Structure 1
Amino acid sequence: MIRVALVDDEPLARLAVKARLACHADITLVAEYGDGVTAATGLATVRPDLVFVDVEMPGRNGLDMLAALPRAERPLAILLTAHDSFAVRAFDLAALDYLLKPVDDDRLDEALDRARLALPYRRLDAARPAAAAWTRTFSVRVGTRTVLVDAADVERIEADGDYATLHVDSRTYLVRERLQALALRLDPAVFQRVHRSSIVRLDRIAELRALTNRDALLRLRDGTLLRASRTYMPALTEALARRNGVPATEPHDPTHIA
């Protein structure tokens, strides 16, 4: 059972998240707070496994609230926000994922899956899975042969029903695994899901262009154009910022990636 706390100054937002969490049999809500000051005190006592935290709150914001907790007592965190840019320091506060408000059901399910994977390691005093846990190679069938594809050579992955298509240079390989399951096994410092139907290797992104609905258009280095959904933009923006060692910014204008 995963013990979860919820911190958000908006009662309706808390109610919406609670309703979604109630659909998961292995989740139990142990506490909820309406401000960062009360939450910092309460979480130190309740000691949940996972906390959903609103980033923007009056008084002490969500990031400051997490930072106030001793590292050894800090739960895994999933951040909630109405904006799609963050301080890179969030990664130092055990932030597993970012959910844009209003929270999308599929994205919340993905975030909980990440927590389920990370918690066994956290309970062994490791904040994240060891590097060896990430997928290094894919075993794929090519005719009568079995081919090992190095994950480092994969440029992007596209959903294809119960399968996923690996794009490697000009070649494609079909893997019998759903995209959502693959996303959880890939190193987030290297790969990021940008849409329900696609995962991209970060070093293949050449440009982000903001769209009017808060989605973004990605241009890869080979000229491929992909749409990045607004629900995946916070994690993508943070991953790119962390990779480049600069503060994360929302792509209001065309952004070229070094």
Structure 2
Amino acid sequence: MMRVAVIDDEPLARLAVTARLARRTGFCVVAEYGDGASAASALPALQPDLLFVDVDMPGKSGLELLAALPPATRPMAVLLTAYDNFAIQAFGLDVLDYLLKPVDEERFDEALERARRAFPYRRAQGGHATAAPALAPLALRTFTVRVGTRTVLVGAADVERIEADGDYATLYAGDKTYLVRERLATLAGRLDPRQFQRVHRSCIVRLDMIAELRALTNRDALLRLRDGSLLRASRTYMPALMAALAAESPPP
């Protein structure tokens, strides 16, 4: 059972998270806090496994809260944000995912799946591990697909993008496509977020395939991939996408 603390200055926002967690197995809410300062003083003794943290709070922000926690015991964290000013610096603070308010149900499940996959590794390592190393050993490295009577192994590093096809998903690897028997939402939680990000309800993209990003007026974005393909990135997925792209880019 994963012990969860929810930190948000808006009571309704906290309720939205706790109500969703109550409908999922394997999670137990052990504390709620309405401000960052209270959470920062109580969490070291409580030692939850996972935090849902609002980025923008009066006083101590969500990022300041995470930075104030002892690195050796800092829990995994999912950031909640109502704005598009993305918290890039949080990548060194055990952040598993970014959820844009109002939180989409499918995105919420993706964040929980990442937490589930990272949790056993963290426990085996005695608690703390940064988000990227914790996920890497558990991330999906190879797809097993059926091609006629053959079973073909497709390396995740060879896949450029993945598109939803009902209850299935289509892998695009160069000039080849493969159909896999998994939903896109399931794959999004299993892939390494340092390499792949979901950009739309119907599409996952390998980050190094993105050549250009152009903001649109409705806070969506248009992506141009290196092969010339154009994809629309939904605002729901933009915080995590922008943070992942910034983490991939070397500082100037």
| 2:74 equivalent in structure 1 | 74
Q: Compute the displacement of 1:246 (Å).
A: 4.2
SS in 2 for 1:189: coil
Alignment of structure 1 residues 23-38 onto 2, 5 Å: 23-38=23-38
In 1, Cα distance between equivalents of 2:10 and 2:135: 36
| 2:240 equivalent in structure 1 | 235
Residues 58-78 of structure 1, C-alpha deviations (whole Å, 9 max, x = no match): 111111111111112211110
| 2:200 equivalent in structure 1 | 195
Letter in 2 for 1:21: L
| 2:223 equivalent in structure 1 | 218
Q: Compute the displacement of 1:106 (Å).
A: 1.4
Q: Does 1:160 align with 2:165?
A: yes
In 2, Cα distance between equivalents of 1:116 and 1:224: 33
In 2, Cα distance between equivalents of 1:14 and 1:163: 33
In 2, Cα distance between equivalents of 1:135 and 1:216: 27
Q: Compute the displacement of 1:136 (Å).
A: 2.5
Equivalent residues of 2:215, 2:222 under 8 A apart? yes
Equivalent residues of 1:10, 1:34 under 8 A apart? yes
Q: Which structure's residues are more often helix, by fraction?
A: 2
In 2, Cα distance between equivalents of 1:184 and 1:112: 8
Alignment of structure 1 residues 1-258 onto 2, 5 Å: 1-125=1-125, 127=129, 128-129=133-134, 131-246=136-251
Please tell me the root mean square deviation across aligned C-alpha atoms, in Å: 1.7
Letter in 2 for 1:63: L
Residues 115-155 of structure 1, C-alpha deviations (whole Å, 9 max, x = no match): 11111111122624363432332222222332222222211
TM-score, with length taken from structure 2: 0.92
Residues 8-43 of structure 1, C-alpha deviations (whole Å, 9 max, x = no match): 111221122222222123222111111111110111
In 2, Cα distance between equivalents of 1:23 and 1:216: 32
Could you list the runs of 5+ residues in structure 1 that have no partner in the other structure?
248-258
Letter in 2 for 1:190: Q
Deviates more, 1:174-183 or 1:120-129: 120-129
Equivalent residues of 1:135, 1:151 under 8 A apart? yes
TM-score, with length taken from structure 1: 0.90
In 2, Cα distance between equivalents of 1:179 and 1:235: 17
Q: Compute the displacement of 1:172 (Å).
A: 0.9
Residues 202-238 of structure 1, C-alpha deviations (whole Å, 9 max, x = no match): 1111111112221111111112111111111111101
SS in 2 for 1:135: coil
Letter in 2 for 1:161: G
Tell me how many residue pairs correspond in the alignment.
247
Residues 152-207 of structure 1, C-alpha deviations (whole Å, 9 max, x = no match): 22110111122111111222111122212222222211111111211101111111
Percent identity, aligned pairs only, is 70
| 1:250 equivalent in structure 2 | none
Letter in 2 for 1:163: Y
Equivalent residues of 2:111, 2:189 under 8 A apart? no
Letter in 1 for 2:206: R
Residues 129/68 of structure 1: CA separation in 2 closer, same or farther (3 Å cut): closer
SS in 1 for 2:134: coil
SS in 2 for 1:232: helix
SS in 2 for 1:231: helix
